[in-house]
């Protein structure tokens, strides 16, 4: 009986290992190449169990759609950390779920990553990921609570508070342990008051602390910030020789920008550069997607 029991355990164990191997093979992994960390070590990726049919992909609120989001180690392709309750995806051809978007930004030291997931009108989730401790913290409620605290000072907001939706975008690390995010509140499809602030937070001891908020009269990021964001997306996905060439090119471009006279002319130089580098990012991402075969 003992021999039979041992054989049965061995057979069940073998079947389990085979099943696990088949499940792993069945899971397709797609890397978000525009989320690579500055040191080139990490990125976000999404996986899906079963076939990836572009005409039958689940919405990002479908927890049973087979999609999961991860922090991945690029060198080994190891799935390092599951981002909980997130089901966002973008196909290698650029297709993505209608009205959904994801924004990310790394700190310069590649330790912290901010993730903002938005739907049509509002923000669904905000996460902070630490690559060293491999921990993830959802801070959506923390950020929203701080924003509402700021808005309570606004008389117009208080009159219509129950009708507002809240959206957050343009996250940015001011340093390794401080980040800011743009916050807006409005009532969709109306002409009622619209509020936009830039909020800053401090990170420390596993907590997030609201620091301050400044009223913003801008509908988007300053050109220099946009350019910096795109440049940082491009650098870690280039080959070493390409990175060296881009650094030299950037130095020459800065001299050209600084020599340009007039604020309007200088802004055009910046916007032209943003468009040029954005095109390069798109081409490089397409190239890398082709190499990974979409999964």
* Residue 131 DSSP code: T
Q: What is d(CA 286, CA 291) in angstroms, rounded to the nearest whole number?
A: 9
> 181-233: per-residue pLDDT in tens?
999 998 877 766 689 999 999 998 778 999 999 998 776 788 999 999 999 99
Nearest residue to 126 (alpha-carbon basis) of 157, 154, 109, 104: 104
Q: Is residue 68 within 8 Å of 87, Cβ to Cβ? A: yes
* pLDDT of 278 over the 70 cut: yes
Report DSSP letters for 70-130, one per residue.
EEEETTTTEEEEEETT------TTS---TT-EEEEEE-TTSSEEEEEEE-SSSEEEEEEEE
pLDDT for 109 equals: 96
Higher pLDDT, 19 or 34: 34
Mean pLDDT of 290-294: 71
Average pLDDT, the chain: 88
**Residue 260 CB neighbours (<10 A):** 15
State the angle between helix axes of 240-259 and 263-292 in degrees (0 to 180), rounded to the nearest 10.
170
Q: Which helix (H) or strand (E) holds 142?
A: helix 140-151
pLDDT for 252 equals: 96
pLDDT for 20 equals: 37
Q: Is residue 113 within 8 Å of 149, Cβ to Cβ? A: no
pLDDT for 25 equals: 45
Nearest residue to 43 (alpha-carbon basis) of 71, 84, 82: 71
pTM of the predicted structure, to 2 decimals: 0.87
| C-alpha distances in Å from residue 74, one per residue of 10, 25, 31, 244, 288 | 35, 18, 9, 21, 12
pLDDT for 5 equals: 57
Q: Which helix (H) or strand (E) holds 226?
A: helix 223-234
Mean pLDDT of 134-160: 90
Q: Is residue 109 within 8 Å of 90, Cβ to Cβ? A: no
pLDDT for 12 equals: 46
pLDDT for 53 equals: 85
Mean pLDDT of 18-37: 70
Q: What is d(CA 139, CA 153) in angstroms, rounded to the nearest whole number?
A: 23
pLDDT for 164 equals: 87
pLDDT for 28 equals: 86
- For residue 67, give both structure tokens: 């999609």
Q: What is d(CA 108, CA 160) in angstroms, rounded to the nearest whole number?
A: 40
| C-alpha distances in Å from residue 73, one per residue of 35, 125, 232, 248 | 12, 23, 18, 29
Instruction: Show the CA angle centred on residue 96, arms to residues 90 and 102, nearest 5°.
Output: 70
Across 132-259, the runs of DSSP E, i.e. the strands, are 135-138, 165-175, 178-186, 195-204, 207-215
Nearest residue to 203 (alpha-carbon basis) of 135, 153, 116, 122: 135
């Amino acid at each position: 009986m003992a021999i039979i029991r041992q054989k049965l355990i061995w057979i069940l164990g073998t079947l389990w290992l085979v099943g696990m191997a088949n499940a792993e093979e069945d899971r397709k992994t797609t890397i978000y190449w525009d989320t690579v960390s500055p040191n080139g070590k990490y990125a976000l990726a999404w996986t899906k169990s079963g076939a990836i049919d572009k005409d039958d992909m689940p919405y990002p609120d479908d927890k049973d759609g087979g999609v999961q989001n991860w922090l991945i180690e690029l060198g080994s392709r190891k799935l390092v950390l599951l981002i909980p309750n997130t089901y966002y995806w973008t196909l290698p051809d650029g297709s993505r779920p209608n009205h959904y978007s994801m924004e990310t930004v790394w700190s310069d030291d590649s330790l912290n990553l901010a993730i903002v997931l938005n739907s049509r009108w509002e923000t669904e989730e905000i996460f902070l990921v630490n690559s060293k401790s491999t921990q993830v913290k959802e801070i959506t409620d923390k950020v929203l609570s701080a924003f509402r605290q700021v808005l309570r000072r606004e008389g117009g907001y208080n009159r219509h508070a129950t009708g507002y939706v809240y959206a957050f975008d343009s996250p940015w690390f001011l340093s390794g342990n401080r980040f800011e995010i743009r916050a807006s509140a409005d009532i969709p499809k109306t002409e009622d008051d619209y509020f936009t602030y830039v909020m800053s937070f401090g990170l420390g001891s596993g907590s997030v602390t609201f620091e301050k908020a400044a009223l913003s009269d801008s509908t988007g990021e300053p050109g220099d910030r946009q350019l910096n964001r795109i440049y940082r997306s491009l650098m870690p996905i280039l080959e070493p020789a390409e990175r060296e060439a881009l650094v030299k090119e950037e130095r020459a471009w800065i001299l050209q920008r600084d020599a340009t006279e007039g604020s309007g002319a200088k802004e055009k130089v910046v916007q032209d550069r943003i468009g040029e580098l954005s095109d390069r990012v798109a081409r490089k991402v397409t190239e890398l997607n082709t190499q990974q075969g979409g999964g």
